[in-house]
Chains A and B, each alone.
Chain A
Amino acid sequence: MSARSIFPKSFAWYVTLGLLVSLSVSYSEDINVAVTVANRTAYYLHVTINGKAYTNIAPENSVNEEVNTATVSISAFYSPAQGRSGSFSKSYPTVSRENYRRSGQTSCNNGRSSCTSTAPETGTRITSLPVRVEIFPRDLQ
């Protein structure tokens, strides 16, 4: 029995398509998302993004970072010795996931016996959500 009879052409097509879809999904998981944290107070702030600390961020300045996690946790507090106390902590999603399904199509040329068809397709579409957080005095409780 030949390989061709075990794996019909249409089956191979489905397998190839499935692999391409799964590859595109896994590639999307590695996406880097831009995160910006801006200091909108009149004091210096210490900011952490996913646990990494950025110290002494000046008023009206911002920190830019890229993360590859599905959510990003951001915290901030007044840098020491400024006579201020208060902190901020919040998590934000960095990606949106949307399931999709496309039905297959078959089209035949008039007057010919051959037809072409596309397989039905399902998957998850992942898009990045850049995060920008502005920290005002009221956020630092």
Chain B
Amino acid sequence: MLNRMKYGPALLAISLALPNGAWGQFEMEQVDKEFSSWIIGIDAGYFQPLGTWTDHRYARGVDLFRGSVAFNVDLERRMRRVGVALNAGYANLNAGAWEDYAAAKGDRIESSASLLHFSALLRPYLKTSKPDVVNLELGVLYLLPQSQERFANRSYDYDFLTRGFGFIAGLRYERYLNRTTALALRISGVLVPSGVQYADGEKHLLSGLPITMGIRFEL
């Protein structure tokens, strides 16, 4: 088994080089079959917001939001060289700079915000030879922001963080520790065209860069 894993890419290359060869086809199917599985993954890391959507609307030079921790969990069905995954992600947004600015102006506020998203992903595998596996990921997501600001005995949501569909694209590297367990490093980009919409019409593209590390188990 290990030999087949070790020589899998070589066997694959040879089999592809043999036109209409039954042997080549058989070996390729063996490699593909071994690479097909259900996988569950858990990631944690940092969400880095990108663009102007995090700028405070009237406090010039102040970030309303900054990056913070991010978590991710996904279930993937890997078939040959393509995986299909359902993913749930959470990113906290740090509003400390805005709270400090308001405090300096004499107003005590408490602010919190986070982004929850669910996505469906297609993962084409660029490298399938264990222990090193690399894949791209492309998909659509649905963003569910949550937020609250408390100011002068009032509490309200940031209505401008709006629910909506967006896109996600990324790259993942997996290093298998054994036959079923791998460490993973993932960097991806998130775009939500209607993510920030103020009630009086101003709009911003919501974008960010989650960078996470995690562990993946083949079931």
Contact = CB atoms under 8 A, between A and B. Distances in A.
A55 B149 contact: yes
Interface residues of B, number: 23
Given A61-B200, A61-B201, A56 B105 contact: no
A62 B200 contact: yes
Nearest to B109: A80
Mostly, the A contact residues are strand
B198 A57 contact: yes
Mostly, the B contact residues are loop
A47 B160 CA distance: 13
Contact of B156 (A53, A62, A83): A53
Nearest to A47: B199
Interface in B91-133: 101-102, 105-107, 109
Contacts of B102: 80-81
A136 interface: no
Interface in B145-176: 149, 151-152, 154, 156-160
Contacts of A47: 199
B101 A53 contact: no
A54 B57 contact: no
- Interface core residue of B58, B107, B199 (most chain A CB under 10 Å): B199
A44 B201 contact: no
